[in-house]
């Protein structure tokens, strides 16, 4: 199914995928990139920016010495310069915050952003990021908030699992997490689970602690799943993460099974394999073959990225897709609740079908599923 959908890609998406595969192959000593004469370069650059693929596109074009319109090369160079300047600013601020939290005895684990760039690329190529993400124990959120406010940050957005801050003079944004997803998304990795296994990476000459490679892989897959796998960059980085890294795959399986997210992890790995040709170890490939749902989900992901113009999204289809990513029944319940609520809760269109007296408003809960069924049959 995935191969059929991939064959239907427009030239711009084909080029982005080819660039991702080429950059990975280049690291293995291979160097070949075919560029269609029908590429719409403006659309391609917009897609690359949306998917966090600008640096990868630039690296592939440079490595192959292929011709591209001068304005394309100029725009790429400008975007990379801006990204590099932003990365330097954010890296410097992350080091300062890390030292501040360390001095105050707070266990803080930076992830994504500069530390993921260091982990993935070791400074060999830039990674686009716009903010800083720091994981802290929930008990220390108040203390961290006070420290950030004293440093000139103000609250930007407060959610049930993270608090976002911004510093107006520099434009630096910091997302403080005590969980990785909201309560409706069943990924529960705690500080107690992760702190004993932190590793050090070098960021701008300073050693910073971040998650182990195994925990980083799980977090990357969970973040991509939370965003409905809409970002090519997130999937590419899953592939980059496992390529050439010494990963304890038995530990990955045990942790993911404990958390109930093994299908999410297998889906991320399988997508990295299908889209970018990343090699999967035998034990992972075998697990995916056993759980055939993963292969079907991968086909849906490709369609959801806009690769298939025939794919039509709906609320129920989206929630059902998300539900299928989880293997434990208790983790499926939040998605089932949302589906049922959507199917039976009347909206304005349902109220327009019949005008009923208040004493018969319960009938609307029967009208809505009937109306949706008729609408579906008429498609």
Nearest to 249 by CA among 292, 217, 291: 217
Top-confidence residue, 314 or 191? 191
Say what the pLDDT of residue 218 is: 97
- Give Cα separations from 217 to 135, 196, 235, 246, 355 (angstroms): 16, 16, 11, 12, 54
Task: Yes or no: say if 165 and 156 are a contact pair by the CB < 8 Å rule.
Answer: yes
What is the maximum span of the chain, computed from C-alpha positions, in angstroms? 74
Task: Yes or no: say if 219 and 229 are a contact pair by the CB < 8 Å rule.
Answer: no
Least confident of 119-123, 239-243, 354-358: 354-358
Q: Taking 60 as the threshold, does the pLDDT of residue 379 lie above it?
A: no
Looking up tokens 């049959």 gives 377
Per-residue pLDDT reduced to its tens digit, 235-282: 999 999 998 788 999 999 999 999 999 999 999 999 999 999 999 999
Q: Taking 50 as the threshold, does the pLDDT of residue 29 lie above it?
A: no
Nearest to 132 by CA among 232, 100, 23: 100
> Which whole number is the average pLDDT over 179-206?
92
For the chain, the straight-line distance linking the first and the last C-alpha, in angstroms and rounded, comes to: 23
Structure tokens at 344: 């039976």
Residue 203: HSE in the Cβ half-sphere, 13 Å Cα cutoff = 32
Position 202 confidence tier, pLDDT thresholds 50, 70, 90? very high
d(CA 178, CA 134): 9
- How buried is residue 54: exposed, middle or buried, by Cβ count under 10 Å (0-12/13-18/19+)? buried
> Which whole number is the average pLDDT over 337-356?
77
> Which whole number is the average pLDDT over 299-306?
80
For each of the domains in the chain, give its residue range(s) and CATH number, in order of start. 87-211 (3.30.460.40)
Top-confidence residue, 351 or 298? 298
Give the chain's count of helices (H) and strands (E): 18, 7
> Which whole number is the average pLDDT over 2-14?
74
Q: Taking 60 as the threshold, does the pLDDT of residue 338 lie above it?
A: yes
Top-confidence residue, 349 or 98? 98
d(CA 85, CA 128): 11
Whether pTM > 0.85 for this model: the answer is yes
pLDDT, averaged across the chain? 87
Q: Taking 50 as the threshold, does the pLDDT of residue 215 lie above it?
A: yes
Position 2 confidence tier, pLDDT thresholds 50, 70, 90? low
In angstroms, how far is CA 279 from the centroid of its own chain? Answer: 20
Rg, Å, the chain Cα set: 23
Torsional class of 172: left (φ above 0), alpha (ψ -120 to 50), beta (otherwise): beta
> Which whole number is the average pLDDT over 357-367?
69
Task: Yes or no: say if 97 and 188 are a contact pair by the CB < 8 Å rule.
Answer: no
Looking up tokens 């990379």 gives 80
At residue 209, the 3 state secondary structure works out as strand
Per-residue pLDDT reduced to its tens digit, 56-90: 998 888 877 656 888 888 899 999 999 889 999 99
Nearest to 182 by CA among 154, 157, 215, 165: 157
Contacts of 378 (CB under 8 A, 6+ apart): none
Top-confidence residue, 23 or 358? 23
Say what the pLDDT of residue 44 is: 93
Task: Yes or no: say if 342 and 48 are a contact pair by the CB < 8 Å rule.
Answer: no
- Give Cα separations from 213 to 134, 140, 258 (angstroms): 16, 25, 17
Say what the pLDDT of residue 197 is: 96
Say what the pLDDT of residue 302 is: 84
> Which whole number is the average pLDDT over 198-214?
94
Q: Taking 70 as the threshold, does the pLDDT of residue 324 lie above it?
A: yes
Structure tokens at 376: 């579906």
Say what the pLDDT of residue 308 is: 43
Position 310 confidence tier, pLDDT thresholds 50, 70, 90? very low
Say what the pLDDT of residue 351 is: 67
* DSSP single-letter state for residue 54: H
> Which whole number is the average pLDDT over 102-125?
87
Position 180 confidence tier, pLDDT thresholds 50, 70, 90? very high
Pairing of strands 173-177, 132-135: parallel
Q: Taking 60 as the threshold, does the pLDDT of residue 307 lie above it?
A: no
Position 33 confidence tier, pLDDT thresholds 50, 70, 90? low
């Amino acid at each position: 199914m995935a191969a059929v959908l991939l064959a239907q890609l427009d030239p711009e998406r084909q080029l982005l995928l080819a660039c991702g595969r080429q950059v990975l192959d280049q690291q293995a000593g291979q160097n070949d990139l075919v560029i269609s004469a029908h590429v719409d370069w403006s659309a391609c650059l917009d897609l690359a920016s949306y998917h966090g693929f600008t640096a990868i596109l630039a690296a592939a074009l440079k490595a192959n010495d292929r011709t591209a319109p001068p304005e394309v090369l100029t725009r790429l160079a400008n975007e990379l310069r801006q990204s590099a300047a932003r990365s330097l600013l954010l890296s410097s601020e992350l080091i300062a915050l890390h030292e501040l939290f360390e001095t105050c005895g707070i266990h803080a684990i930076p992830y994504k952003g500069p530390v993921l760039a260091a982990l993935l690329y070791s400074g060999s190529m830039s990674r686009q990021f716009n903010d800083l993400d720091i994981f802290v124990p929930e008990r220390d959120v108040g203390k961290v908030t006070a420290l950030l406010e004293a440093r000139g940050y103000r609250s930007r957005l407060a959610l049930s699992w993270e608090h976002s801050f911004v510093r107006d003079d520099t434009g630096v944004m910091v997302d403080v997490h005590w969980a990785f997803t909201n309560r409706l998304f069943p990924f529960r990795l705690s500080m107690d689970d992760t702190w004993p296994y932190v590793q050090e990476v070098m960021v701008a000459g300073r050693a910073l602690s971040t998650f182990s490679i195994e925990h980083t892989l799980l977090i990357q897959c969970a973040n991509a799943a939370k965003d409905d796998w809409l970002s090519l960059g997130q999937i590419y980085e899953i592939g980059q993460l496992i390529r050439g890294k010494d990963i304890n795959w038995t530990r990955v399986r045990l942790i993911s099974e404990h958390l109930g997210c093994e299908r999410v992890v297998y889906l991320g790995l399988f997508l990295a394999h299908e889209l970018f040709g990343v090699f999967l170890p035998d034990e992972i490939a075998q697990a995916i073959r056993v759980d055939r749902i993963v292969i079907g989900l991968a086909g849906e992901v490709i369609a959801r990225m806009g690769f298939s113009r025939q794919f039509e999204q709906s609320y129920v289809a989206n929630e059902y897709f998300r539900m299928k990513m989880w293997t434990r029944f208790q983790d499926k319940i939040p998605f089932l609740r949302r589906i049922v609520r959507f199917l039976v809760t009347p909206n304005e269109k349902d109220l327009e079908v019949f005008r009923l007296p208040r004493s018969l408003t319960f009938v609307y809960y029967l009208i809505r599923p009937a109306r949706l069924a008729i609408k579906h049959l008429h498609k």
